[in-house]
Structure 1
Amino acid sequence: MSACRAFRRPVPRRRTTLPAVFAAVAAMALTACGSGENPKSGGQTQFVQGAGGVSVVNDKSARQSAPGLDGKTLEGKALDLGKEYKGKIVVLNVWGSWCSPCRAEAKNLVTVAGDYKSKGVEFVGLNTRDADPAPALKFEKEFGVPYPSFYDSAGELLLRFPKGSLNPQFIPSTVFIDRDGKIAARAIKALSEEELRKTLDPLVAEK
């Protein structure tokens, strides 16, 4: 299933670029709705380019640290990922209420979040490009989302991911952060329950 562009609407006959506010980070320019292929790795990142838009860093020593993510949730509550989920495996899902693939994967995220909570896995959303939180809150209510979501309408939290890391590049994207706060995997498409479990099980088994 295709992913959606992240920061601007398509422009006919032109490659998608970031809006002016993101010009300084053009390296994060997002391409058109997903082909399922992964971008080439950059810097020292060593990851396996998995089929279907999922990339995994099997070597723990090669994983890059996740950026500090803190801000307000859709409900207006303060959330600091590093402090509140320290020592936990975190599944960070980037989504928007306007995104059809996000709707398609929502039930899968909710189910797996419930199944893996007792295994030390926490799910967190990162809502972006919703100019008003109301549609996003309606989305969460519709799908029974039990975990919090950052409200990041301007994409500022997304820009904290370092160049060359397994950074979110589509909507939806899902980033898997290990117990040490390192980026272990990234998906750049809507995920099935099977794909979520297949990515999480090795992380849960890590010592």
Structure 2
Amino acid sequence: MPLLSAAVLATVLALTGCAGGTEIQTGGEEDRFISGDGSATVFEAGDRVPVPEVGGTTFEGDELALADYEGRILVLNVWASWCGPCRAEQPVLDEVFAEYGGLGVDFLGVNIKDNETAALAYTENKGVEYPSLYDQPGEIPQAFRETVPPRAIPSTLVISPEGEIAARVIGPTTYGQLTGLLDPLVVEYGFGDPQERPRVSEQESAEPEDTEDADDADASDAPRTEADG
């Protein structure tokens, strides 16, 4: 078995230790990615570091920079259409995005190492309503390498209105985890009471009943014919 150089070994150990997950192989040796276990880290106000000055172009051709979101809480999510854990967490991101938009929270995706056509089809098929930057080379994750391993996918950063990293998740996040990271920031910056936010799950569970009631009402109001008896 060939010996690894010290530099390569250090890199492998660092990625494995930070992500604590398994490899996702998408092609050649250079295309190996690590799926973390979804562990979260919260950075207290005095320990938060500023985000790098990065940005890019969305699938729609708009230029966006992280600085554009100052004054709002930003959830920055790194994903790819071929990434199974990314697909699994998408409903969570969509639900939290819908519930927290009125509480000072914005979402921005970063699509890396992907085919643009496949990535765009993914967002359209999933009905993703927030924008994503198309970053095929993965330059934005590289800019965050001091906080998140660049090859950890998916990964999520919660950025404060002051442009500082308040929390990170390496691996797929969950509804309870992500809302638990956002709620303290929403309160800290006075954006409202998270407990009073509209709940997507409650709205969806009410829809079938409302539809059925409406159908019954339509049927009862319809004129009767001789065939109806």
Equivalent position to 1:158, from 137, 141, 148: 141
TM-score normalised by the chain length of structure 1: 0.74
Aligned to 2:97: 113
Aligned to 1:62: 47
Relative to 1, partners in 2 of residues 1:161 and 1:201: Cα closer, same or farther, differing over 3 Å?
A: same
**Larger RCO (alpha carbons 8 Å, 6+ apart):** 1
Summarize deviations over 1:126-178 as a string: whole Å, max 9, x none. Answer: 00011x31111111111111111010010111111252x35655110000001
Aligned to 1:53: 39
Letter in 1 for 2:102: S
Provide the aligned length of Structure 1 versus Structure 2. 170
In 1, the alpha carbon distance for the partners of 2:149 and 2:64 equals 20
Q: Which has a greater percent of helix?
A: 2
The answer as to 2:125 corresponding to 1:142 is yes
1:54-203, aligned counterparts within 5 Å?
54-57=40-43, 59-82=44-67, 84-130=68-114, 132-161=115-144, 163=146, 165-166=147-148, 169-203=151-185
Summarize deviations over 1:164-194 as a string: whole Å, max 9, x none. Answer: x356551100000011100011001111211
Relative to 1, partners in 2 of residues 1:156 and 1:88: Cα closer, same or farther, differing over 3 Å?
A: same
In 2, the alpha carbon distance for the partners of 1:168 and 1:205 equals 30
Q: Which has the larger radius of gyration?
A: 2
Q: Which runs of 4+ in 1 moved over 6 A?
A: none
Relative to 1, partners in 2 of residues 1:78 and 1:129: Cα closer, same or farther, differing over 3 Å?
A: same
Letter in 1 for 2:155: S
Tell me the secondary structure at the aligned position of residue 106 of structure 2.
strand
Unaligned runs of 5+ in 2: 1-19, 190-229
In 2, the alpha carbon distance for the partners of 1:198 and 1:10 equals 38
* 1:69–1:80 Cα contact (<8 Å) kept: yes
Question: How much does 1:76 deviate?
Answer: 2.0
* 1:128–1:151 Cα contact (<8 Å) kept: yes
* 2:34–2:153 Cα contact (<8 Å) kept: no
In 1, the alpha carbon distance for the partners of 2:42 and 2:143 equals 20
In 2, the alpha carbon distance for the partners of 1:106 and 1:88 equals 22
Unaligned runs of 5+ in 1: 12-17, 20-29, 37-51
* Percent of aligned pairs with the same amino acid: 39
RMSD: 2.4
